Structure 1
Amino acid sequence: MKRRDFIHLSSLGLGALATSGLVAMSNPVTAEQLLEPGIDVAAKKLLADTALNAAKAKGATYTDVRIGRYLQQFLFTREKNVQNITNAESFGVGIRVIANGTWGFSATSDVTPDGIKKCAETAVAIAKANSKLQKEPVELAPVKGQGEVSWKTPIQKNALEVPVKEKIDLLLGVNNAAMDTGAAFVNSSLFMINEQKYFASTDGSYIDQDIHRIWPTFNVTAVNKTSGGFRSRQALSAPMGMGYEYLDGLEKDKAMNPAGFNSYRNSYDMLEDAVNAAKHAQEKLTAKSVTPGKYDLVLDPDHLGLTIHESVGHPLELDRVLGYEANYAGTSFATLDKWRAGDFKYGSDKVNIVADKTQPLSLGNTGYDDEGVKCKEWDLIKNGVLVNYQAIRDQAKIINEPESHGCCFADNWSSVQFQRMPNVSLKPGTEKLSVAEMVKDVEKGIYILGRGSYSIDQQRYNFQFGGQLFYEIKNGEITNMLEDVAYQSNTQEFWNSCSQICDKDDYKFFGSFFDGKGQPSQVSAVSHGSSTTRFDAVNVINTGRNI
């Protein structure tokens, strides 16, 4: 990844989410080459069988093979200039085996029968070498062989088929619109990914999947020319498991939010959002600085999603709970004793949080995970009580699950698959409730939109979150814009302060396109759905910045 691209991503507030894996093991190609067909399914099956047979001949008791073609197109602009266009393709095979009760993994870009045979034999040799240190044999939860099946993201328009010029024109148009509205600086980006993944295993599965994701985003900055101070506002878009229809208006469903501008669900008007962002950034320059204290918070889904991600998604990853994983996000306060007790109040009775890799249009939407397990929905928190974690095949027995949850993932054929966060979402309220109706009951509060800076401890317990936009709520009415807002709490206290959740008509996604985990690090894409939600008497601090 080029340094200037990394700096650009960092300026969008991605931080550690974008530090690795974007173009790992990839080769630069032309935009036209991204549209070339890969090898057909019959050829993939022959290659997969070569690996399965070679591993078995060397003593493997289980084998899975992933033949992957990963396509990426990333476009970067700033003001009137194109900064970079990245077209990348990565193609190869990853082979995972169990031999002598121990995992072994090897990968190769030599996608020929001989290359694959050698790779499989290497994976077995690694497993046998590892077995000298293995204390207990790997035990996999059973999975039914799927036979020959396929799954594809139900896109209407492949973003990679849209001419690069058309997409660059969109980004430069966004920049111009923001500048014409008073922005001093603006950069915009468009990320498009297509994963063509073929999975085969000794369980009898041959699964072909074609997965698409898209993320349009920008950062707009206004400057106080007298003081030199500045304020920024990022895009309020959500990355989605969709095609280019997300951007070209095939499914417009805007909804006016209480702050008086449009929010977006399954389509996104990037130009309109950029104009609003320029206005908001200028308004921030003179916005009132918040008075610290206790406030009722009304949190929009494009803000609350990050809080869900950090305070629910990561701490309920079973490998973190067990202490097997601590990279990027630490371990977890939500230890097994709390789950075993059966009455640990993670949140109020209104809090129902589910894991689900089948949600349509979400980043995590797929038919099968990278262990060939059919994806599904399951409860994590039910009526406020911790009831489950996120587990894959070799973890399921630890929490007495009869099967994997189907949340195993690798970001590339060259990476070994491991437990990754599925979509983790707060279920909407069951009673009819709009945002306007929710706000009417708030006497002293703050309405927060968009993701901002955040900090959370290594147990995923004590935290602080900022945002993009803040509006004071007085006696049931949204009044002036605020600045310098951040709220502090701990996970259990925060979720137990949840008092109201809007109904399904307000439900929408927040997304993380580059969520980091592991060492060597990998990235994955995950959505978090919610409706606007109220939290009572939360501690708000003044971050102390000056214009």
Structure 2
Amino acid sequence: MRRRDFIYLSGLGAGSAMIANSAFGKSIYQEQLLTTIDIRAKKELADVALNTAKAKGASYADIRIGRYLNQAIVTRETRVLNVANSESFGVGIRVLADGCWGFAAGNTVTKEGVAKIAERAVAVAKANAKLGSKPVQLAPQKGFGEVSWKTPIEKNAFEVPIKEKIDLLLTANGEAIKLGANFVNSTIFSINEQKYFASTDGSYIDQDIHRLYPNFQVTKIDRDLGAFETRAALSSPVGMGYEYLTPSESEKVQGVVTRYKNRYDMIEDIKNATKNATEKVAAKSVEPGKYDLVLDPSHLWLTIHESVAHPTELDRVLGYEANYAGTSFLSLEKLKSGNFHFGSKNMNIVADKLQAGSLGAVGYDDEGVKCGKWDLVKDGVLVNFQAIRDQAHMIGLDHSQGCCYAQSWDDVQFQRMPNVSLQPGKEKLSVDDMIKNVEKGIYIVGNGSFSIDQQRYNFQFGGQLFYEIKNGKIVGMLNDVAYQATNQEFWNSLTAVCDQSDYRLGGAFNDGKGQPSQSNAVSHGSSTARFNGVNVINTKRKIG
């Protein structure tokens, strides 16, 4: 065995398991991450599949030829734990026959192979039709011909030498240790989805999608107090290239927590994180009660994700997710009424599949619908849900909203949330301006643990950092903080949102849904927001 092979193979293992979706496949070398498949060959395969499906009796068919590339680099203190590169490549074919869906997939990506997969998909649909009741009703969709879309990256993460990434992570770890951290681990995850979609509607869509997620966690132990605290990175997973990790001073924004507008400085963040973890050990425990909360976008994204984005998924509203991930307190009746007040007039929530830099940004979804943007909540009133082609008619739409997704070629596509974001306030308002007007409050930064009930109605959220506000000033750090509320109560307490200059994205790299479970990546944006009179509890466990 060559030394290179030994080092490569010994780098697999736990790091591979951390790669952010089930598309993890065979191990490959770094240089193989930069190869592509000829688009003409993909079109020829697609035509074979579509023609075969129609010949076997399908009224509609689509094919997804997917090549999913992943890289995970995992470190701890001074060591590299894992470097793992993987590729998953195959074909998924979905058809309508006798009014029912059928799906089949395989990794024999030849003309003969895709023909057999198409035959199997039609056979599945016809078998399903014997048990089905109402035929599938698809929203019309025009074909786009041959088109393409690519994440507008500046620097492909796979082109960056592994050594450069390892050097960054170990340098970051070293800074944390130098400042007194007892433990530190750091990671960089990179993903490239090369997806080709074709359908009998007449679309041949080639997409090249990139995502990046740098992360770390530092731990500080106080042996005298017998206590420890952690602080994770305030980075966000993004739909960007490696340029995300090359911030410029012009993007730097000073505040209670230093940040960059669209980039991320891992070294600066890990230095701050180590200091924060040290401060948290000695921070006073919060007194339970009612507080005005000032929520940073690095925290608020998760609250938006769990309490707004998931409840507005139409399949969840209809009960399709009840067995696995719950339903929704929202209903078709609440939408049709036109006057269901989800939140205050400051609550404007938008779904957006094109948002630059976001995890969910694509040109076309996984059933060939051109992506766009739409309102979910307008001036506090529920105005729409998230729907795909076979759901659109259920809420009176004549078109899909383009939010269909499958995590890999061997998974059937279904409704997944787009980027769902709270819109900035229209009047000029900075974080400092907002804090000046708070008499008794808590400023919360970073996401932490959470819990939410089966209908996404009652919830509890923690965070990373908690700062006490008294008479318009930050007076120190708090600990053991979580807030509780019902969904409507919380969003109706929204009294102010900072302007566009404070707007930032957070997001989930691997949000789970469905049976069999699938994972997708999605971003949620906001500016800092204020919620008045929210119930805060103390989470510190008492022993004895």
TM range (shorter): over 0.9
Question: What one-letter code is carried by the residue in structure 2 that aligns with 1:26?
Answer: G
Q: CA deviation at 1:545?
A: 4.2
Which residue of the other structure, out of 270, 283, 287, is the alignment partner of 1:287?
283
Match for residue 28 of structure 1? 27
Q: 1:214 matched to which residue of 2?
A: 212
Paired position in structure 2 for 1:532: 528
1:309-355 CA-to-partner distances (Å, cap 9, x unmatched) read: 00000010000000012365311001111111111110001100000
Q: Which residue of 2 aligns with 1:268?
A: 264
Instruction: Name whichever of 364-373 and 223-232 sits farther off.
Output: 223-232
Q: Given that residues 252 and 266 in structure 1 are in contact (C-alpha distance below 8 angstroms), is that contact kept between their aligned partners in structure 2?
A: no
1:454 counterpart residue number: 450
Q: Deviations over 1:236-274 (max 9, x none)?
A: 0011110000002368512112x2x31133110001000
Give the Cα–Cα distance (whole angstroms) in 2 for the partners of residues 307 and 45 of structure 1: 42
Map residues 309-348 of structure 1 onto 2, 5 A cutoff: 309-326=305-322, 329-348=325-344
Are 1:329 and 1:460, in contact at CA under 8 Å, matched by a contact in 2? no
1:434-453 aligned within 5 A: 434-453=430-449
Instruction: Output one character per residue of 1:471-530: Cα deviation in whole Å (capped at 9) or x when no partner.
Output: 000000111000000000011000000000000000000110011111111110000010
The answer for the alignment partner of 1:124 in structure 2 is: 122
Q: Say whether residues 1:492 and 2:488 are aligned partners.
A: yes
Supply the AA of the counterpart residue of 1:122: R
Q: 1:252 to 1:126 in 2, by over 3 A?
A: farther
State the alpha-carbon separation in 2 of the partners of residues 172 and 469 from structure 1.
24
Q: How does 1:98-109 map to 2 (within 5 A)?
A: 98-109=96-107
- Kept in 2, the 8 Å contact 1:328–1:516? The answer is no
C-alpha distance in 2, partners of 1:254/1:357? 27
Q: Any conservation in 2 of the 1:302–1:451 contact (CA below 8 Å)?
A: yes
Q: Tell me what 1:432 maps to.
A: 428
In 2: Cα distance, 1:48 partner to 1:529 partner: 37
**Aligned-partner Cα distance in 2 for 1:25–1:194:** 12
Identify unmatched segments of 5+ residues in structure 1: 10-17
- RMSD over aligned CA atoms reads 1.6
Q: Is the 8 A contact 2:12 2:82 kept in 1?
A: no
Any conservation in 2 of the 1:251–1:267 contact (CA below 8 Å)? no
Q: Which amino acid aligns with 1:531?
A: S
Are 2:229 and 1:223 equivalent residues in the alignment? no
Contact 2:192 2:209 in 1 (8 A): yes
1:115 aligns to what? 113
Deviation at 1:229, TM superposition (A): 1.2
SS of structure 2 residue aligned to 1:171: helix
What SS does the corresponding residue of 2:496 show, helix, strand or coil? Answer: strand
- Give CA-to-partner distance per residue, 1:401-442, whole Å, 9 cap, x none: 110000000010011000001000000000011110011110
Which of 39, 42, 57 is 1:41 aligned to? Answer: 39
Q: 1:343–1:3: structure 2 CA closer, same or farther, 3 Å change rule?
A: farther
Deviates more, 1:436-445 or 1:220-229: 220-229
Match of 1:13 in 2: none
Paired residues of 2:156 and 2:241 also in contact (CA < 8 A): yes
Is the 8 Å Cα contact of residues 237 and 264 (structure 1) preserved in structure 2?
no
TM-score by length of 2: 0.96
Taking the aligned partners of 1:226 and 1:188, their CA distance within structure 2 comes to: 27
Residue 410 (structure 1) aligned with residue 401 (structure 2)? no
In structure 1, the residue matched to 2:199 is 201
Instruction: Name the structure 2 match of 1:12.
Output: none
Output one character per residue of 1:279-309: Cα deviation in whole Å (capped at 9) or x when no partner.
0000001001000000000000010000000
**Equivalences, count:** 533
1:516 aligns with 2:508: no
2:427 paired with 1:423: no
| Separation in 2, partners of 1:445, 1:6 | 42
CA distance change for structure 1 residues 488 and 416 in 2, over 3 Å: closer, same or farther?
same
Structure 1 residue 33: deviation in Å?
Answer: 1.2
Residue 247 of structure 2 corresponds to 249
The SS at the match of 2:326 is coil
Deviation of 1:227 (Å)? 3.2
Q: Who is 2:75 aligned against? A: 77
Instruction: Give the C-alpha shift of residue 77 in structure 1.
Output: 0.5
Alignment check: 8 A CA contact 2:152 2:240 kept: yes
| 2:445–2:463 CA contact under 8 A, matched in 1 | yes
Match of 1:168 among 153, 166, 191: 166
Say whether 1:365 aligns with 2:361. yes
Structure 2 equivalent of residue 147 of structure 1 = 145
In 1, Cα distance between equivalents of 2:345 and 2:12: 48
The TM-score with structure 1 as length reference comes to: 0.95
In 2, Cα distance between equivalents of 1:179 and 1:203: 58
Equivalent residue letter for 2:352: D
The one-letter code sitting in structure 1 at the alignment partner of 2:325 is A
The verdict on how the C-alpha distance between 1:77 and 1:327 changes in structure 2, with shifts beyond 3 A counting, is farther
Matching residue within 455, 477, 480 for 2:476: 480
In structure 2, stretches of 5+ residues that fail to align are 1-10
* Residues 1:102 and 1:146: Cα distance change in structure 2 (over 3 Å): same
Shift of 1:4: 3.9
Q: Distance in 1 between matches of 2:458 and 2:276?
A: 30
CA distance in structure 2 between the aligned counterparts of 1:496 and 1:22, rounded to whole angstroms? 35
Q: Spell out, residue by residue over 1:182-218, the C-alpha distance to the aligned partner (whole angstroms, 9 max, x if none).
A: 1000000111000000000000000000000001000
Q: Is the partner of 2:446 in helix, strand or coil?
A: strand
Q: Structure 2: how far apart are the matches of 1:545 and 1:178?
A: 28
- Measure how far apart 1:2 and its partner are: 7.8
- Whether the aligned pair in 2 keeps the contact of 1:245 and 1:251 (CA below 8 Å) is no
Partners of 1:200 and 1:24 lie apart in 2 by 20
- Give the aligned residue type for 1:215: Y
Q: Does 1:61 align with 2:59?
A: yes
The C-alpha deviation readout for 1:337-385, integer Å capped at 9, x for no partner, is 1111111110001100000001011111110000100000000000000
Instruction: Tell me how far 1:3 sits from its aligned partner.
Output: 7.3
Following the alignment from structure 1 to structure 2, what is the Cα–Cα distance between the partners of residues 133 and 435?
57
Letter of the 1:506 counterpart: D
